[in-house]
């Protein structure tokens, strides 16, 4: 909330909706505001990637969106800018539980060379295209993937996981937009025969 407050204080009047459109609509106002902020948090800064490298830039993006990262050689996950190491480190694992990551920010994953696992649980803005981009950028690297309680992921999103050829473990649960769970499981088993796949019923 403090981070969001700082962004709000810096917004120019031109970047906000006219007040007369918001009077009497606090819920709509709040949704617009958080959607606006989340897009700011997820916007890719190519200059930052060039300046500090893909892993550092991706760490900043993830932490900014409420996720946490574990660097190679570290035991714990970190979700505070103050814990970012000053030297060159690489991301080994991502825990995006309850974060606001969205497809707009997924290009930050392009240059990561050591990412082994990712937890995508309760990601409100995660949708099918995110999983397409995940396969595009990290399909040959990620070994373990957890996909839980992401209401915008449909059967098409699950089909995108067939590009994750390096997967060894895949756990999915509580994906209400998936209509044919058995067909999705069959498709994944055929595409990823060496992967341990779990998709229990709710």
In a domain, 86, yes or no: yes
41-88 per-position pLDDT tens digit: 999 999 999 999 999 999 999 999 999 999 999 999 999 988 788 778
Do residues 56 and 84 make contact, with C-beta atoms less than 8 angstroms apart?
Answer: yes
94-111 per-position pLDDT tens digit: 999 999 999 999 999 999
Q: What pTM was estimated for this model as a whole?
A: 0.83
Do residues 95 and 37 make contact, with C-beta atoms less than 8 angstroms apart?
Answer: no
Q: Is 81 exposed, middle or buried (0-12, 13-18, 19+ CB in 10 A)?
A: exposed
119-172 per-position pLDDT tens digit: 999 999 999 999 999 999 999 999 999 999 999 999 999 999 999 999 999 999
Show the tokens assigned to 31: 């949704």
DSSP strand pairing (91-95 vs 68-71): antiparallel
Q: How many domains does the chain have?
A: 1
Residue 134, CB-side half-sphere exposure with 13 Å CA sphere: 32
In a domain, 155, yes or no: yes
Between CA 60 and CA 33 the distance in angstroms is 21
In a domain, 175, yes or no: yes
In a domain, 38, yes or no: no
In a domain, 37, yes or no: no
Show the tokens assigned to 78: 């970190």
Is the pLDDT assigned to residue 1 strictly greater than 60?
A: no
- Which CATH number characterizes residue 97's domain? 3.80.10.10
Question: Among the residues of 25-170, which ranges form H helices?
Answer: 26-42, 46-52, 54-64, 128-138, 155-160
In a domain, 34, yes or no: no
For 83, the domain range is: 43-198
State CA 72 to chain mean position distance: 19
Angle formed by the axes of helices 26-42 and 54-64, nearest 10°: 170
Is the pLDDT assigned to residue 28 strictly greater than 90?
A: no
């Amino acid at each position: 909330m403090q981070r969001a407050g700082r962004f709000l204080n810096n917004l120019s009047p031109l970047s906000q909706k006219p007040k007369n459109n918001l009077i009497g609509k606090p819920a709509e106002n709040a949704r617009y505001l958080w959607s606006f902020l989340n897009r700011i948090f997820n916007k890719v800064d190519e200059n930052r990637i060039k300046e500090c490298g893909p892993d550092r830039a991706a760490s900043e993006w993830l932490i900014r969106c409420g996720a946490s990262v574990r660097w190679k050689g570290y035991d714990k996950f970190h979700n505070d800018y103050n814990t970012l190491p000053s030297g060159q480190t690489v991301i080994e694992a991502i825990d995006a539980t309850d974060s606001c990551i969205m497809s707009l920010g997924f290009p930050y994953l392009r240059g990561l060379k050591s990412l082994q696992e990712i937890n995508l649980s309760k990601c409100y803005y995660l949708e099918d295209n995110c999983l397409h981009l995940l396969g595009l950028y990290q399909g040959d690297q990620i070994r373990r993937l957890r996909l839980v309680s992401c209401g915008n992921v449909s059967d098409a999103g699950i089909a995108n996981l067939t590009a994750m050829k390096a997967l060894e473990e895949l756990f999915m649960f509580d994906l209400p937009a998936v209509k044919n769970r058995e067909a999705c499981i069959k498709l994944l088993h055929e595409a990823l025969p060496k992967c341990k796949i779990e998709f229990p019923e709710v």
